[in-house]
Chains A and B, each alone.
Chain A
Amino acid sequence: MARATEFMRVTDLHAFYGESHILHGLDFVVNKGECITLLGRNGAGRSTTLRAILGLTGRRTGSIMINGREAIALAPHRIARLGVGFCPEERGIYSSLSCEENLLLLPQLGSGGMSLDEIYEMFPNLYERRHSQGTRLSGGEQQMLAMARILRTGARLLLLDEISEGLAPVIVQRLGQIIRQLKEKGFTILLVEQNFRFAAPLADRMYIVEHGQIVSEIHQHELQEKHYLLQEYLGV
């Protein structure tokens, strides 16, 4: 039963890469305006979950309801058009396009996308580097670009894969600020993060993924009492 506040409901999601069975029946919900984090060890299937939502893996079974639409059988470009923005782990900045071209490339997925001026206000360093070739930007700048891109499209559900990975602490801090700003603006965010200290303060709820399944759900206010779970599954 889909509730009005649900943005996405994943039910019994199995996903394969070729013959490899990665997700073994995932169940979780993301409500509108929430920031959800998927935690877990490497290889648990967290990135695969994001990719499966977008149809970027091999075979998928189960159900993925996005804004009331069943997305399990849709092609990736149609899933994106349901209002889903994706920030991949490898960032995916196009080397054959400049920074600004990268920014302007993505088609509008819904109304209410941020204007170019608003983007440059939020990410001033992208303005300075706007004519540089996409891949000539530093790691931090590329990450900003990857995020800025999807904010222009009007996507309301943001799938962010390991955005803090390999970045200097000061930039990670900035990213945290940006996520908070986005939350205030009402975006729905699904975060995959290794860095627990970065993700925990931001998340309304956390799911722990192990061997392609959800093994635990932790609400923000339960962090203290359920700390032992984090230690058990993540070694935190």
Chain B
Amino acid sequence: MSMNKSVLGYGALLALGLVAPLVVYPVLGMKVLCFALFACAFNLLLGYTGLLSFGHAVFFGAAGYVAGHTIKVWGFPTELGVLAATAASALLGFLFGSLAIRRSGIYFAMITLALAQMMYFVFLQAPFTGGEDGLQGIPRGQLLGLIDLSDDFTLYYVVLAVFAFAFWLIHRTIHSPFGQILKAIRENEARVTSLGYDVERYKLMAFVLSAGLAGLAGALKAIVFRFATLADAFWQTSGEVVLMTLVGGMGTVIGPVIGAATVVTLHNTLADKVGPLLTVIMGVIFVTCVLLFRRGIAGEFARLYRSMVGARPREPRAAVRRPEAGLAPVAKAEEPKTQAAKGDPMPQGPDDWAYRLFAELDAKK
């Protein structure tokens, strides 16, 4: 998409965000924005670097506690509390990331999940979190000492502004040289290493950035709801953010936002009516998306748009089995190219887009 089209698209989205409180409850809108930010931060890791972190809720939840504690107990002004929470999440991201990045693929996912679960138990037992009751009664305070945030409408626009800023940050990151390298890592890590880049360092940076932004989302949510809960750090929340990204479209910038809006709305409308069946519904959506709908909503729209505009169809990205050692020590050798999956957002094979990317990286050396 050309520059003008994306500007138009984002402009429309911003306009939508600005008028939303007239149509929906501001609190619901803020919930969507928080989870959208969470999902965008998560997608930075999954869709763009190719790392599935299954314990991302730990950053979301931890930030809520930090923000709540600093604001309520230590009397930090709101903006400082949020910043402290973001920094804390980034730090936690650094620690966990350093450990998890030692393995890749499925192991990475399991490690992040286990580390997050460890923190869950810490949160459960630690005194300052309030255990199962959570940290309640977090005051909203004032923004920069000037704007009173206790009004939902006011807070909505503040949250929207923060979201817009963070979204812009993510957008810039993705389209920067740093972002290009991340995309290249997802495509073909070995190749990036052979070009001389320290892949581990880039993965860690992406992880820290993702964790920090997830923390920002968590801090905002804690302030919106005046409440930091244990559930925010639970593995099921980690699963939900994966679902949001999957439904919305991995590897697209706008996908996670759409996914978050969809899932949060679904939650809201169905939670009272179906009770525990909600988990079942989430599971069904998961399974359906993985089997039939891997591109997600944004991905499908993009494909539709390209076919209507008559753009040269992007070569379906071949999805190759990553050699991953199991009981056998030998990596599974496959033929050079296998069946092309129907346009997979987790590509691993050659694609003229990727070739161009590597050519650019090559030229920069």
A-side residues, CB < 8 A to B, are 17-20, 51, 56-59, 90, 95-96
Please state if B340 and A19 are interface contacts (CB–CB under 8 Å): yes
Could you mark each residue 334-365 of chain B with 1 if its beta carbon is under 8 Å from any beta carbon of chain A, else 0?
01111110000000010000000000000000
A-B pairs, top 3 by smallest CB distance, nearest first, are A18-B337, A17-B337, A18-B318
| Among B10-18, B65-73, B325-333, the stretch in contact with A | B325-333
Q: How far is the CB of B159 from chain A (nearest CB, A)?
A: 46
* Set of chain B residues within 8 Å of A17, measured between Cβ atoms: 335-338
* Set of chain A residues within 8 Å of B315, measured between Cβ atoms: 19
How far, in angstroms, from A17 to B334 measured CA to CA in the complex?
Answer: 11
* Set of chain A residues within 8 Å of B329, measured between Cβ atoms: 95
Please state if B328 and A18 are interface contacts (CB–CB under 8 Å): no
How far, in angstroms, from A95 to B318 measured CA to CA in the complex?
Answer: 29
* Set of chain A residues within 8 Å of B340, measured between Cβ atoms: 18-19
Query: Could you say which of B327, B328, B338 contacts A58, with CB atoms under 8 Å apart?
Result: B338
Chain A residue with the shortest CB-CB distance to B339: A58
Q: How far is the CB of A97 from chain B (nearest CB, A)?
A: 11
24 A-B pairs with CB atoms under 8 Å apart are: A17-B335, A17-B336, A17-B338, A18-B337, A18-B338, A18-B339, A18-B340, A18-B349, A19-B318, A19-B337, A19-B340, A20-B337, A56-B335, A57-B335, A58-B335, A58-B337, A58-B338, A58-B339, A59-B339, A90-B333, A95-B329, A95-B330, A96-B327, A96-B328
Chain B residue with the shortest CB-CB distance to A19: B340
* Set of chain A residues within 8 Å of B327, measured between Cβ atoms: 96
Q: How far is the CB of B341 from chain A (nearest CB, A)?
A: 10
How far, in angstroms, from A132 to B330 measured CA to CA in the complex?
Answer: 18
Q: Which applies to chain B's interface (DSSP): helix, strand, loop or mixed?
A: loop
B-side residues, CB < 8 A to A, are 315-316, 318, 327-330, 333, 335-340, 349
Q: Which applies to chain A's interface (DSSP): helix, strand, loop or mixed?
A: loop
Residues A95 and B333 in contact in the complex (CB < 8 Å), given A18-B339, A18-B349: no
* Set of chain A residues within 8 Å of B316, measured between Cβ atoms: 19
How far, in angstroms, from A19 to B330 measured CA to CA in the complex?
Answer: 27
Q: How far is the CB of B188 from chain A (nearest CB, A)?
A: 16
* Set of chain B residues within 8 Å of A57, measured between Cβ atoms: 335
Which of B315, B327, B339, B349 counts the most A-chain CB atoms under 10 A from its CB? B339
How far, in angstroms, from A56 to B333 measured CA to CA in the complex?
Answer: 13
11 extra interface residue pairs, beta carbon distance < 8 Å, beyond A17-B336, A18-B337 = A17-B335, A18-B318, A19-B315, A19-B340, A20-B336, A20-B337, A51-B335, A57-B335, A58-B338, A95-B330, A96-B327
* Set of chain B residues within 8 Å of A96, measured between Cβ atoms: 327-328
Chain A residue with the shortest CB-CB distance to B341: A18
Chain A residue with the shortest CB-CB distance to B319: A18
How far, in angstroms, from A178 to B241 measured CA to CA in the complex?
Answer: 62
How far, in angstroms, from A57 to B329 measured CA to CA in the complex?
Answer: 25
Chain B residue with the shortest CB-CB distance to A51: B335
How far, in angstroms, from A19 to B329 measured CA to CA in the complex?
Answer: 30
* Set of chain A residues within 8 Å of B337, measured between Cβ atoms: 17-20, 58
* Set of chain A residues within 8 Å of B318, measured between Cβ atoms: 18-19
* Set of chain B residues within 8 Å of A90, measured between Cβ atoms: 333
How far, in angstroms, from A51 to B340 measured CA to CA in the complex?
Answer: 19
* Set of chain A residues within 8 Å of B328, measured between Cβ atoms: 95-96
* Set of chain A residues within 8 Å of B330, measured between Cβ atoms: 95
* Set of chain B residues within 8 Å of A59, measured between Cβ atoms: 339
Q: How far is the CB of A88 from chain B (nearest CB, A)?
A: 11
Q: How far is the CB of B332 from chain A (nearest CB, A)?
A: 12
Q: How far is the CB of A26 from chain B (nearest CB, A)?
A: 18
Which of A19, A56, A59 counts the most B-chain CB atoms under 10 A from its CB? A19
Chain B residue with the shortest CB-CB distance to A57: B335
* Set of chain B residues within 8 Å of A18, measured between Cβ atoms: 318, 337-340, 349
* Set of chain B residues within 8 Å of A51, measured between Cβ atoms: 335
